Structure 1
Amino acid sequence: MPISPQAYRPEAKLLDLGDGFFDPVAPADFPETRTRFRNDRAAAQIGVDTLTDDEWTRHFGRFEPLPGTLPQPVALRYHGHQFRNYNPDLGDGRGFTFAQMRDDRGRLMDLGTKGSGQTPWSRAGDGRLTLKGGVREILATELLEALNVPTSRTLSLIETGEELQRGDEPSPTRSAVLVRLNHSHVRIGSFQRLAYHRDEAALRKLVGYTLRNLYDEDSDDPVRLLGLVVGRTARLAARYMAAGFVHGVLNSDNINVTGESFDYGPWRFAPTWDPAFTAAYFDHQGLYAFGRQPEAIHWDVMQLAVALRQIAESDPLVAALDQFGPRYQSEVTEAILWRLGVRPRDPDTDRDLVQATERALRTSGVGIDRFFFDAFGGDLPGTYDEPWAEVRAALASYEPRKDRSHPYWSGEPCSMLIDEVEAIWVPIAEHDDWTALNAKVAVIRGMSQALAD
């Protein structure tokens, strides 16, 4: 197979944990495998961009093992709080991890799936993914990556030729299998499961695995791990806010210990800075509303601290956990300044600008993407009158971090509201026309170039 010998660096570190952490599984035997999305940009970072089309479908649709990595797929075991209710009956139910490798930054990466068939943890589910769900995940991951949010990337989407029955989509609907590239699928819920079973030896083993393989630290210290997770998850919460993104289901089994967003179900981008805006129709209490996401992620990290209490003293764990608030405030300031396209000045001045921006967005009802497009570089147009006077005055003292010479700035802001998601799906569903999706991905990647440092 034409894998790039310089870029492809396979690993199988997950096997070091042993059988108690996962179950070997077999992929579903799909009627067909038809590639619908191939992310060669992400593939190049792990050395698989040179695969032929046939090899691509064999490895990412039939799941023939990649050389030098896991000999067969494994479904990970975990527990988790789902909408604050503990569920010990969880695990990979429609996905698995089937390969590990180093990326071009030297990070250990997982290739995981969604829609690859039933596992011991499927319960009553069919283990499948709708094609529409796969299209939605492409759009979410592409835009989040462009907006500087730590996220999994959609590597591949392959249509599989089955008809699925779903209560939330017109059925029968088309099926697909998705492959995501992620910096670990070790979740907070992975630790919760071991604490639930009071398996201290396994907890210590998972702490060591995480620190050495995911943080490059030669340590087995659970307090150190918690401190690192606090920092990464505070950054994730902050960048969700700056992006105007609502994940929808921030359960503890959906938060990984590297602070990377993944597993996109009922996500939304908020049209305006509305703290009460929700993504999931079943989130009746607004637990995971836009403005409550930092609180939700902090609560999940608290559950990691509770799990680690079995192998560490409480006081240092509490001290590490208490850093979430200050880290979040620092991270959200940095994230919003990045999106404003200006260079930081000093902490107090930067914080004042960010707070003024949040107030004006909340009270004015101006679209989030519209505002950040217009304000990029610090020169707010004259059409922004009250309540933008404070923001305009504050921005005047900032230097731009990048100019507006990229062609993106001569057009309109790139958004991804729910109506557009549906509009992109309709021609695929009705005419098998992928033009709108491909065009949107191209626009998003253009915006990414315009925003990038």
Structure 2
Amino acid sequence: MKSLDQLNYHHTYADLGSSLSSRVDPTPLHAPYLIHTNHRLATKLGIDIKSADNEVLTQLLSGQGILDSWSPIAMKYTGHQFGQYNPDLGDGRGLLLTEFVDDTGNKWDLHLKGSGQTPYSRGADGRAVIRSSVREYLVSAAMDGLGIPTTQALALSGAKTPVQRENIESAATLLRVAPSHVRFGHFEYLFYSGQHTEIQALADYIIHWHMPELEDLNDKYAAFFQQVTKSTATMIAHWQVYGFCHGVMNTDNMSILGLTFDYGPFAFLDTYLSKHICNHSDYSGRYAFHQQPGIGQWNLSALGYALSSLIDSKQIEASLQAYSSHIQAEYRRLMRARFGFTTERENDPELINSCLDLMEKLGLDFHFTLRILSETGPNNWSDAELNNSLNKPEFTTWLRDYEKRILLDYQNDHERQKAMQGVNPKYILRTHLAQETIQQVENGQFDILDTWLAVLANPFIEHSCPSHWSLPPRSDQKGICLSCSS
């Protein structure tokens, strides 16, 4: 374990040249204070955060100072926003503070969100608020606990600096960690600005640090795009299986490594609604839950176009076509596990889809229904005490077919229940629970984040926490839409 000043720092992205970034120092916050640090993540990264002086850490997070070995930059990129190309994008409220290489040779970015204005702020204040920062701090832990590829958050701070959103709020910063923060939009920026040599250099950079197995291939750029396509499909398949709605799937929000990031308006499904929209600015429903797989392919086609100087069009098209088969295969594999199937049967997709259709028709809670199935045997499925989730007539008919199916895989139903409990979360970061936690943090109750991080690290087992965290929301707590400032 190493302290922050002992890490093996690098500036590999900045070395690509000034066209891809601008050197910017964080703008200090007024009266900053440390809200929370993610000790579990710090241990994984080999960082001794526990012995770090809180005052020093707070200063680094709030822009009061930086280590001599850091050289913060704002990244330049562009992208398609709601289907329209926007050339005027970039890190408008965040900075890549530095990078470090851990003892196993893996490179990590330390990225500070809410660090102040940059050349790409487009007139905005460059700040984040406690509300949005707590939400991202929690959801990155939730996604990791569910096994969904994601960026993560190492630390969270607040300050007395006022920030104008819908109302006056308090400023905050979030220290985000990822192997890379390069997006589809980085390549689009280089392509549309005619910097084709730099496109190759950026692709070589990603391959060298994150896909070294491709470096010696003759068609390494085609293989690169193929790998991006596959990792994106894997990520979105996980979203669909666990009911995650991203809300703003613009190409500037798409990680080149297939990591979920840029958490703005997001949600996990409560009642199963295939067309749920979690972003109240998404008037057309472009990024509705059921649209996400198709939007992923659309975004990949935009990336493929940006890479057309490196890759033959037929190879691009082949990778895009393979995306559909990969996301379907990954989705079916993961969803079979959620339903407890250990073998693959011809009628499994029909049985699973009919269950989802019934959930939507009957207004059943997505996660709670599957958790009940994982905690009870067939003899109890008609029990009225099961909160009316499983004892509705149409659902009872489906349950009889489901019982026949699981008998093909299990002789002992306790084995099925155990297997299902390992992939069906008892706890999910529902929107109303996140909002409840935000209010507690804003009131100075920071310890609640200790409880949440412990729960989200393994949401599949019983935890000592408020009992309502494992229950569906009340009717007035369902379907909350968020804004991009949320």
Q: Is the 8 A contact 1:30 1:161 kept in 2?
A: yes
CA distance in 2, matches of 1:43, 1:93: 26
Contact 1:66–1:99 (CA under 8 A) maintained in structure 2 = no
Relative contact order (alpha carbons < 8 A, sep ≥ 6): 1 or 2 greater?
A: 2
- Equivalent residue number for residue 215 of structure 1: 211
Distance 1:30 1:221, change over 3 A: same
Query: Match for residue 106 of structure 2?
Result: 107
CA distance in 2, matches of 1:427, 1:183: 32
Residue pair 2:36, 2:449 contacting (<8 A) in 1 also:
no
User: Does structure 2 retain, via aligned residues, the 8 Å contact 1:79–1:89?
Assistant: yes
1:420 matched to which residue of 2?
433
Match of 2:407 in 1: 396
Q: Rg bigger for which structure? A: 2
* Structure 2 CA distance for aligned equivalents of residues 105 and 360 of structure 1: 48
1:28-54: per-residue Cα shift (whole Å, max 9, x none)?
111122110100111112222343323
Distance 2:162 2:28 in 1: 14
Uncovered stretches (5+) of structure 1, i.e. residues with no partner: none
Q: What are the residue-to-residue correspondences of 1:186-197 with 2, within 5 Å?
A: 186-197=182-193
State the 1:306 CA deviation: 0.7
Displacement after TM superposition at 1:105 (Å): 6.2
Residues 198-207 or 56-65, more deviating: 56-65
* CA shift digits 1:389-426 (9 cap, x unpaired): 333332333355883799999xx931333222222223
Question: CA shift at 1:126, angstroms?
Answer: 0.2
Query: Which residue does the alignment assign to 1:432?
Result: 444
Residues 97, 111 of structure 1: 8 Å contact kept: yes
| Deviation for aligned residue 1:201 | 0.5
Partner of 1:55: 56
After superposition, give the CA deviation of every residue in 1:333-390 in whole Å (9 maximum; x if it has no partner).
Answer: 22223444x4642374654554444344334432111023223389565133233333
Q: Distance in 2 between matches of 1:450 and 1:258?
A: 33
Q: Which of 365, 368, 372 is 2:366 aligned to?
A: 368
> Normalising to structure 1: TM-score of the pair?
0.88
Residue identity matched to 1:396: L
Q: Whole-Å Cα distance in 2 between the matches of residues 432 and 166 of structure 1?
A: 21
Does the 8 A contact of 2:133 with 2:173 survive in 1?
yes
CA distance in 1: counterparts of 2:353 and 2:245, whole angstroms: 20
Residues 180 and 435 (structure 1), Cα distance of their counterparts in 2 relative to 1, 3 Å cut: same
- Aligned pairs for 1:18-417 within 5 A: 18-50=17-49, 51-62=52-63, 64-65=65-66, 71-102=70-101, 106-167=105-166, 171-217=167-213, 218-219=215-216, 221-340=220-339, 342=340, 344-346=342-344, 348=346, 351=349, 354-376=352-374, 379=377, 381-383=380-382, 384=390, 385-398=396-409, 400=415, 403=418, 413-417=426-430
> Does the C-alpha gap of structure 1 residues 108 and 2 become closer, same or farther in structure 2, counting only changes over 3 Å?
closer
Unaligned regions of 5+ residues in structure 2, if any? 383-389, 391-395, 464-486
Partner of 2:484: none
Residues 117 and 125 of structure 2 are in contact (CA less than 8 Å); yes or no, is this contact kept in structure 1?
yes
Q: Supply the distance in 2 between the matched residues of 1:443 and 1:309 (Cα, whole angstroms).
A: 45
Provide closer, same or farther for how the CA distance between residues 155 and 189 of structure 1 changes in structure 2, counting only shifts above 3 A.
Answer: same
Match of 1:442 among 448, 454, 461: 454
Between the aligned partners of 1:98 and 1:315, the Cα distance in structure 2 is 39
Report if the CA contact (8 A) 2:2-2:46 is conserved: no
The alignment covers a number of residue pairs equal to 441
RMSD: 3.0
Post-superposition shift, 1:290? Answer: 0.9
Q: How far has the Cα of 1:443 moved from its partner? A: 2.5
The whole-number CA distance in structure 2 between the counterparts of 1:406 and 1:331 is 20
